[in-house]
Every structure is written in structure tokens, then in C-alpha cells.
Structure 1
Amino acid sequence: MKTLLFAPAAYNFAETSRLVDIALACRDRFRVIFASYGGDFEWLITDHGFPLIFMQPRLTPQKIERLYRIMRWESVNHPFGLDHLTERIKGELAWLKALQPVAVVTGLDLSWPVTCRVAGLPLVWVAQTTSLAPFWFSPLAFWPDILDYRPFRLLPQRFLNYAARYLMHFNRIIMVRFNAAAYLFGARPFKGTEFWEGNYTLLAEPPEFSGLTDLPSRFQFIGPLIARISRDIPPEIENMPRDLPLVYFAMGSSGERQIIAEILRAFSGRPYRVIAPVKKLLKGLPADIPPNVLVTDWLPAHKVNAMARVSVIHGGLGTVMTACLAGTPIVGVGMHFEQEANLECAVRKGFAVRLRKRRFKAVDVMAAVDRMIDDAEAHRRALEFKKILEKYDAPAAAARFLAQTFGD
């Protein structure tokens, strides 16, 4: 049986759960092995019995926080120093030699693209259209919140949206260190945005989501790929009074703590009850939890979100697809450009409100929730899109593609 190596960024819940779901669908066709540099979600891998290689050097909590700051464009630093990057590549090459996989599957583990190019091994990204060049070079592109400074607000929005496509050229700066590492190992440099696409890209969404369908064959839509934690709904949620509408408030693993705390405070006294699996994100931050809010650890979101009338989320593709599969309208505050774009896709479908992070006010979130709770048209459109998503089996589609491409 051929070997597939899965390499998630295990500090990110959505990515780790995506790759685990695909691996579960592949385990009868491939010998599946995982490799991780650390993170809070390695248990998702080991709980399903997959062998896990603990790669070195390990990511510390400080380095993980730095990676999140870079992803949110709060820092212009490179994710890795050149020495650190080359150490990772050497270790990865050694494991590739030992395991002899037919391909590596990743989503955000950023040294593997270089390693696979050096080794001449196919790389499969699991991503979404909103993080890739075809989206940002299309008419769907828009000016991201990170650059929503007051002087830019004086310019016409149409002009800014057109200018957004040129932001992709900043990728050349990010590539300098990765290309330096590739050069050290005798590999050709990455051109354009090919670093982020690999040999193939599995898109964890249906083509109906972004509407961007005219893509090269190396891009494969597989449908919505969401986390389905095999846990029961906790009794405190099952037994919540149903005298008021329920709101589901989730910020994935990348939500900003200060924004979360402000939204929690703003829920106080509102005419709804709130389920908020944000406990881990609040760690170390004093927060006043109103009586109508239940803060929890990670939940089986696919079950709990379906209980709610509205979802308040950060716009990660997993949380967006979970809300869509629950048939609930969305109020979103994106933490970075890809999440903003995911929310914009839902806005265009008529069942979401996106609030700009740089103009964030908790009172605006509450106003949007009040509006969406009673918006019959938004609920109708959300349920329509839910029916489209329910036709897909993303893990099976991904496994089928991998078997056809790399299997016997």
C-alpha cells in the first residue's frame, strides 16, 4: 500500500480537522502518516489512531502566536529565520527518504512546499478560493480591512477594489526567504503564487460558494469540509431554556481576544441566549461574562450551530461552512483578508453581514444580530444554500481524487 504523508499546521483547528477528515476517507486506500511541528490540536490526529511524527524543532506558544500575527498582517516579519527554515527542510527530507510517500498533503505548514520541490515530490494543498491568486485577480477582489486607513476611505470603493489585485505582488517579498532556502538545496525558485498552490489544490468548498469556477484543472472543488468532533452536546447546552432565540458565537482558533471580549460584554441584556465556544481564546484575559452567555471549550459545532438562529463568527472557511450547513444567517468580523473574503461570499448570497475589523464596534455587531434574527429573506436564502452544500461529501471526493492521482 502506498504512503500519503499529511502535514497540518496543528496549531490551527480548522486545518487539522480538514486533513484528519480526508485521511479518514483515505485510510483504506493508502498508508496514512501524519507529521506535525506542534500545536494544541495534535489530539485530533492521535485520537483517530493515526501515527504521528513529532517534527523538530517544535513550535512554541510564542512562535505560534507570532505566526497568527503574521497571518492577520499585524506583523511584517517572515514566519521563519533562514536557519530555522533550513533545519526544518533537512528534517523533512530525511523523513521523506525514510517513508517514501507518493505525495504530501498540507494546508498551512510552510516549509513543505520547499521540501517537496527539493525532493521532486508532489504537494497537495487543501485551501479555499479566497486565499488564492485566481480570486484576487478576478472582479471579486476587494480592498482588505488591514489597509482600511482613513486616507484610503476618500477614494472610490471601485478604484480600491480594482487596486486590490496588485497587492498579490507583495508575495514576492514573502518568497525571498523561501526561495533562498530552495536555492541552498539546489531547487528552482518559486514564481508568482505557485508556492501556495503546489502541484494540486483541493478547494474545501463548492464552486457555488465564491462563484469562481473557471479554474485550471490542478484546482479541484471537493465541497464543504468542516470539523465534526465526535462528542455529545454538553448537558448545559441541551438544557438551555428556549424562551429566547439562540446565537452561536465562535471565533475558531485565530480570533482576536480583545474583539471577542468586547462582543461578549455587548451581549449583556440582549434578548437572546448565546453559546460561545471561545474559552481557549480568552485564556489569561479577564472578561465579564453576562448571565445570558455560556462560554465553553471546543464543541461539536456542526450539532450546536444548528440550534442557533444566527451565527456570529470570524469568517474562517470552516466556521462559515458550518454556519451554512446549519442554515443560519451570519454576522462576521474577519481577522484577515481570506476570512473577510469568505464572509463577502456569504454577503453576496444574501444571508450575511460583514463588519470591518478596522472599524469594529461591538454595538454594530449587536445591531447586525438584531437585524438578522428577524430577517426572513436571509433565513430563506441560508436554507437554500444549505441544500446545495448537503449534496457534497468532501472527504470522499478528496480521497477519490488522491486515489485516482496517486493510487495503484
Structure 2
Amino acid sequence: MSTVIFCPVTFNLAETTRMIEVARALAPEHQAVFMGYEEDFASLITGAGFEYRPCQPAWTAAEREQALKFDQGRALRSPFTRELVAARVAVERRMIRDHAGAAVVIGSNVTSMISARAEGVPLFYPVPWALSRPQVEQVRRFRFIDGDGWIARTADRAVTAAFRWVYTRAPLAPRALASVARENGVVPLRTVASLLDADVNLVTVMARELEGFSLPRGYSRVGPIFAHLGGELPPIVHELAAADEPLVYLALGSSANRELALTAAAQLGTLPVNVIAPIRHYLRAEDEVPANVRVTDLLPAHLLGGLVDAAVLHGGQGTVQTACATGIPFVGLGLQPEQVWNVRVCETQGNALAVSPKRVGTPEFVAAVRRVLGEPSFHEVAARVQQAMAAEDGAAASARIIEAHLAR
């Protein structure tokens, strides 16, 4: 039996659930042990039946907000102090030794890039294609400047080239990571791209999303991985699905904020629809939403197929893939470049519309929801995408690659 250490960022819902799916897919002779620093979604790990080791030092709320801004490219300053990085690397190295870890699987927990390599243990990363090193190196246009005219194309290619240099060449990784890496005998992490580049990168997308790109050594396509939360849908979902009004699903993952949640709920309240909204973790006790918006805790969204007519999503890969796998067309808000890319892929194929999060409080957002609900083409494409995704199992493919490495 081999032990596989899973180290997601446990205040990131998508990462935590993605790790759970891969752990579930491992063969019974392998043991999965989870570790993490924050408690937000740790209960999902223990609820799935896995051992979880809470570790320190954890980030404060302010440090987590700063980490999220850094991850989304909205800030250059990070909360990775030398003391925190050194302490976490020491904890992770001890975790690997104490459990005789044969492999480490991560989300975006960058200190694992140091600890696993210092212990000589292979590092696996189920990772979105968007903003991966090879994607940034090869993409011609990120559409930072939208439009298809000559001026827009030229300007966007220039901005994309500048972004590529900053992302893959500029020494913008937190200095603490480089100094602690050297102290642990590991090649320093210097660029933003190096923080997302494991020994084996498991690309969690459909094959069509890689058209025009090539995968370098160390990258393998495994297919979509999205959450299958335990439990059943609450009765209110079935009640609303049986009503005459269309049912809209509002899900904003763990990378949105209270203001966006309230604004989206208020705008959906102006439409003749019912809304099921697992956004309770964003709201305060005194917050009010329209009467047609039912706020809930997180739901097993993979069970919503056939019940929901359309969705409004933040654009995270797991949430988008869940909508695709259940045949639900959606309006995507794209809160950061990776999410914008995820939404654009679906908009191009015809099962989604993109709206800037800055436009959620405007008629543009309401019009987009009306279109996705009312135009048959969105539902027809969503059904075809659902059929294509039924043949994919990214978690199982990831587990087989990890096990092949363990066998060697």
C-alpha cells in the first residue's frame, strides 16, 4: 500500500472538491491522507470519509484575501512571509515523512512545490489549462482587449505578449519562496508560472479546449474533474422545479464576494423566475434578497440536471464543468483571467453568455439571463456538450497516472 498526501488550499472550494474526486478514484490499496491550513471546506474532506490533518500556520482573514488577490492577478504583494513559508514547508516535509508519502497531490498550495521536491516525492497537480505555463506561452490572444477589428487584434496581441513575459519570465514570485527553497536544497521558484508547474500536471479539460495547442513534457490531459458533493438536494429545489416559472441556479463558488452575490440576487429578483442560490456563505444575517431568491448552503450541483433551466456562475472551472455535465446553459461572470477563459470557451461553443461582473447591476446582465433562458439554441448546445462530457472521467484518469508512477 502507498500513501498519497493531498494538500489543497482548503478555503478554495474547487480545489478541495477536485482533490476529493481524485482521492475517491484511487485504487483501494492506496491510502489518501489530506492536510490543510484553513477550515472552510475541511468538513467536505472528512464528510467524504478521508483522514484530514489540520495544520498550522493558517492565514488570517486579511491574509487570505491578499492571497486571493495575488492568485487572481489583482495584486503583486502576497502574504507569503519568510516565517510562514519556512514553517509550512517544515510541516509538510514532516507530514510526508511521518506518513511515508509516496506522492503529493496539490491544488495551488505553492509551499508543496518546495516540500515535496525536498523530500524527493513526485508532485501531481490536477490543473486547469487556462493560465498554465504552456497555455500562456502559446496563446496568441487572451482578449484582454475584445473585438475582432485590426486595431483590437493588434492591441490585444501586444498586451498578451506583455502579459506572457510578466507571467513566465519576470521574477515576481514572492522572495520568501526562493529563499526557503534554497535552504531546503530546491531550485528556487522565481516566476508566477513556476508556482503552477508541478512534476506531473494533469490538465482538467475537454480535448477540444486544447485544439491549436501542444502539451509539453510533464503535461497530460485527463479530462474534467468537478464536485460530486454527498447528500440529496433539499426539497425546495424539487418544489421550485415543478413550478410554472423557470428555475435559475445562482452559484458563485468561493472566489466572489458579498456585494456581487447581493447584486446578482437583486437583478434576478426582477425577472419572472425562481432562483436557488447556494450563496449563504457570502451573506450576513441582516442581508435581504428578493422573495423569489431562495438562499441555501452548498448543494450537490451534479444532481441539478433536468431541474434547472439556466444558471448564473462565477466562471470557476469546477462550476462551469458541472453546468456542462448537467446540460445547463449559463451566464458566466468571469472574476479573473482563468475564469474569463472558462466562460469564453463555453460562449464560443454556444452554451453560455459572458457578462463582466462590473455589469451585473445593469440591464445587460438581465438581458443575458433572458436570452439563455429563452433561446432554444443555448439549450440544444448544452445538451450536446452534456453528451460529450458523459464519456469523460478526469478523476479516474488522474488516479491511473498517479498509480502508474507509484508502480514504477
Tell me what 2:257 maps to. Answer: 256
Equivalent residue in structure 1 for 2:162, among 149, 166, 180: 166
- For 1:103, give the aligned amino acid: A
Tell me what 1:180 maps to. Answer: 179
Show structure 1 runs of 5+ residues with no match. none
- For 1:276, give the aligned amino acid: A
Deviation at 1:283, TM superposition (A): 3.4
Kept after mapping to 1: 8 A contact 2:178/2:189: yes
Supply the distance in 1 between the matched residues of 2:184 and 2:330 (Cα, whole angstroms).
46
Kept after mapping to 2: 8 A contact 1:256/1:335: no
Supply the distance in 2 between the matched residues of 1:218 and 1:64 (Cα, whole angstroms).
30
Kept after mapping to 2: 8 A contact 1:265/1:288: no
Supply the distance in 2 between the matched residues of 1:283 and 1:305 (Cα, whole angstroms).
30
- For 2:278, give the aligned amino acid: P
Percent of aligned positions that are identical: 27
- TM-score, normalised via structure 1 length: 0.91
Kept after mapping to 2: 8 A contact 1:264/1:288: no
Supply the distance in 2 between the matched residues of 1:51 and 1:379 (Cα, whole angstroms).
41
- For 1:185, give the aligned amino acid: N
Tell me what 1:269 maps to. Answer: 270
Supply the distance in 1 between the matched residues of 2:186 and 2:140 (Cα, whole angstroms).
34
Tell me what 1:288 maps to. Answer: 288
Kept after mapping to 1: 8 A contact 2:124/2:402: no
Matches within 5 A, 1:226-237: 226-237=226-237
Supply the distance in 2 between the matched residues of 1:31 and 1:175 (Cα, whole angstroms).
33
Q: CA RMSD in A?
A: 2.3
Kept after mapping to 2: 8 A contact 1:4/1:102: yes
1:68 aligns to what SS in structure 2? helix
- For 2:265, give the aligned amino acid: L
2:220 aligns to what SS in structure 1? strand
Supply the distance in 2 between the matched residues of 1:254 and 1:211 (Cα, whole angstroms).
28
Task: Tell me if 1:56 matches 2:56.
Answer: yes
Deviation at 1:161, TM superposition (A): 4.0
Supply the distance in 1 between the matched residues of 2:284 and 2:153 (Cα, whole angstroms).
38
Supply the distance in 2 between the matched residues of 1:288 and 1:363 (Cα, whole angstroms).
21
Deviation at 1:166, TM superposition (A): 2.8
Listed one character per residue, the Cα deviations across residues 145-164 of structure 1 (whole Å, up to 9, x for unaligned) are 9xx9xxxx996244224422
Aligned residue-pair number: 401
- Give the stretch that moved more between structures: 235-244 or 307-316: 235-244
- Give the stretch that moved more between structures: 77-86 or 358-367: 358-367
Deviation at 1:384, TM superposition (A): 1.1
Show structure 2 runs of 5+ residues with no match. none
Kept after mapping to 2: 8 A contact 1:8/1:15: yes
Deviation at 1:32, TM superposition (A): 1.5
Supply the distance in 1 between the matched residues of 2:100 and 2:162 (Cα, whole angstroms).
40
After superposing on structure 2, the runs of 4+ consecutive aligned residues of structure 1 that deviate more than 4 Å are: none
Supply the distance in 2 between the matched residues of 1:176 and 1:65 (Cα, whole angstroms).
16
1:275 aligns to what SS in structure 2? strand
Tell me what 1:399 maps to. Answer: 399
Kept after mapping to 2: 8 A contact 1:2/1:407: no
2:256 aligns to what SS in structure 1? coil
Supply the distance in 1 between the matched residues of 2:273 and 2:48 (Cα, whole angstroms).
37
Supply the distance in 1 between the matched residues of 2:328 and 2:94 (Cα, whole angstroms).
47
1:126 aligns to what SS in structure 2? strand
Tell me what 1:21 maps to. Answer: 21
- For 2:88, give the aligned amino acid: R
Tell me what 2:188 maps to. Answer: 189
Tell me what 1:343 maps to. Answer: 343
- Give the stretch that moved more between structures: 166-175 or 236-245: 166-175
Listed one character per residue, the Cα deviations across residues 52-97 of structure 1 (whole Å, up to 9, x for unaligned) are 2221112333332332232333432113111111111122122222
- TM-score, normalised via structure 2 length: 0.91
Task: Tell me if 1:4 matches 2:4.
Answer: yes
Cα separation, partners in 2 of 1:140 and 1:255, compared to 1, 3 Å: farther
Supply the distance in 2 between the matched residues of 1:58 and 1:256 (Cα, whole angstroms).
21
Supply the distance in 1 between the matched residues of 2:255 and 2:281 (Cα, whole angstroms).
11
